[in-house]
Structure 1
Amino acid sequence: MPVHAKICGLSDSAGVDAAILHGAAFVGFVFYPPSPRNVSPFVAATLAAKVPPHIKKVGLFVDPDEKLIRSVLTNVPLDWIQLHGSESPERVREIKETYSLPVIKAIKVDSASSLDEIARYDEIADMLLFDAKEPKSMENALPGGNGLAFDWELLAGANVSSPWMLAGGLNSTNIAEAVRISGATLVDTSSGVEFEPGRKNPAAIETFLAAVAAIDA
């Protein structure tokens, strides 16, 4: 089965152009002010206008209020909403119904017990995303995009009904192994294709997407 990739945390034209040119299936924009990847609705709208219809535009939010979501959706034609905070299943359902958009819910993983969360969100969210849980000892940790991987073996036997995506420390050198071990057919990277947090490297995007395409081959 083909593997499809999402490039998340895009904030400039060079990164978006590289994602489009080299075969991303999803592009992600972060609407979370503490993140170095945060973009305003105005900037995101300008970038989203470059994206062809076959590539899905994802907006990443962390425990968002209605004002933020409405501000973004008024300006940016998103295809998906990604929730990367501590949103409850009820909140996920509410956002889906209010905005009539499919929702990706992130589940933070650091042990087998983390996968207990699958049962809470499976089939309420339209897609699950498994990301590495940030350790309490990590300074200035973000809800995602910390460049941390988790034990992909945990997902090998996971019982998930919804489509799901693998994230967390993925880059061109480990993506083939990550897919082999986890069985993922959807993958997501942000920090793995950057010069520095918040600044995407177009050449690294090209290399990552080529590595994903090589898995299919």
Structure 2
Amino acid sequence: MRVKICGITNLQDALDAVNAGASALGFVFYKPSPRYINPIEALKIVENLPPFVQTVALFVNETTEFINEICQKTKMQLAQIIDDENIVDFSKLNIKYLKVLRVKNKESLENLKDEYYLIDAFVEEFGGAGKRVALEWFNDMDCYKYILAGGLSCENLKELKGYGFFGVDVSSAVEKEKGKKDKQKMIDFVKVAHEIA
């Protein structure tokens, strides 16, 4: 199972995440977030990463132009997009993207297109709230294109076994404080994720 560690704000945390076995690193370009990183600092980190690590830019209700500009400036490989306000013209993005679904109920997961989604629990704020999606909503569903986020930790990760999720996304559960990662927590989380894959 692939693991994305989100909310990277410094090079040491990025390298520790990679060494822990993360497949992808997430950078938050949403200013109200305590994990926000400015594009200049993000680029410095990206340019010092080893190969075979995917860099992901997180956006919340931003314009198509803004997403294209930031991804180009920071050399991001993927845009992870919360578009609750339907601002984005996905056909005009210059970068590969992943839509985020913030689900309130099982019905939110019905009639989805056959594409990859990051699925998170709906909360009023954006990101790092630690709220979980009800796993029973995924019973009898094919989850191989879903990346699960929200409220995941070493303690509850094993509950995902058998669902076949493509990957998981973690932020607050591997932090020692908001915006600062804990090396051992990242190691432990990735280890459990790989054990249940």
TM-score by length of 2: 0.89
Alignment pair present for 1:170 and 2:164: no
Q: 1:163 to 1:5 in 2, by over 3 A?
A: same
The Cα offsets for residues 178-209 of structure 1, whole Å up to 9 and x where unpaired, read as: x2264313111011111122222122111111
Deviates more, 1:151-160 or 1:13-22: 151-160
How far apart are the structure 2 equivalents of 1:85 and 1:66?
Answer: 10
Alignment pair present for 1:104 and 2:98: yes
How far apart are the structure 1 equivalents of 2:107 and 2:139?
Answer: 14
Is the 1:109–1:130 Cα contact (8 Å) retained in structure 2? Answer: yes
How far apart are 1:47 and its partner, in Å?
1.1
How far apart are the structure 2 equivalents of 1:19 and 1:156?
Answer: 31
Alignment pair present for 1:146 and 2:140: no
Is the 1:171–1:192 Cα contact (8 Å) retained in structure 2? Answer: yes
How far apart are 1:71 and its partner, in Å?
3.6
Alignment pair present for 1:195 and 2:176: yes
The percent identity for this pair of structures is 29
Report what 1:17 is aligned to: 15
Is the 1:81–1:103 Cα contact (8 Å) retained in structure 2? Answer: yes
AA of the residue aligned to 1:151: A
Of 83, 86, 100, 2:84 maps to 86
AA of the residue aligned to 1:20: V
Of 115, 130, 149, 2:119 maps to 130
How far apart are the structure 1 equivalents of 2:116 and 2:161?
Answer: 20
AA of the residue aligned to 2:133: F
How far apart are the structure 2 equivalents of 1:37 and 1:189?
Answer: 13
How far apart are 1:157 and its partner, in Å?
2.4
Q: 1:156 to 1:100 in 2, by over 3 A?
A: farther
Report what 1:138 is aligned to: none
Is the 2:59–2:81 Cα contact (8 Å) retained in structure 1? Answer: yes
Is the 2:57–2:71 Cα contact (8 Å) retained in structure 1? Answer: no
SS of the aligned residue for 1:83 comes to: strand
How far apart are the structure 1 equivalents of 2:162 and 2:103?
Answer: 15
Is the 1:15–1:205 Cα contact (8 Å) retained in structure 2? Answer: no
How far apart are the structure 1 equivalents of 2:103 and 2:162?
Answer: 15
Report what 1:137 is aligned to: none
How far apart are the structure 1 equivalents of 2:81 and 2:142?
Answer: 21
How far apart are 1:87 and its partner, in Å?
4.9
How far apart are the structure 1 equivalents of 2:128 and 2:82?
Answer: 11
Is the 1:156–1:183 Cα contact (8 Å) retained in structure 2? Answer: no
TM-score by length of 1: 0.82
How far apart are the structure 1 equivalents of 2:183 and 2:177?
Answer: 12
AA of the residue aligned to 1:114: S
How far apart are 1:24 and its partner, in Å?
0.8
How far apart are the structure 1 equivalents of 2:156 and 2:29?
Answer: 28
Report what 2:66 is aligned to: 68
Q: What is the CA RMSD across the aligned residues, in angstroms?
A: 2.1
AA of the residue aligned to 1:79: Q
Select the structure that is richer in helix.
1
Find runs of 4+ consecutive structure 1 residues off by over 6 angstroms. none
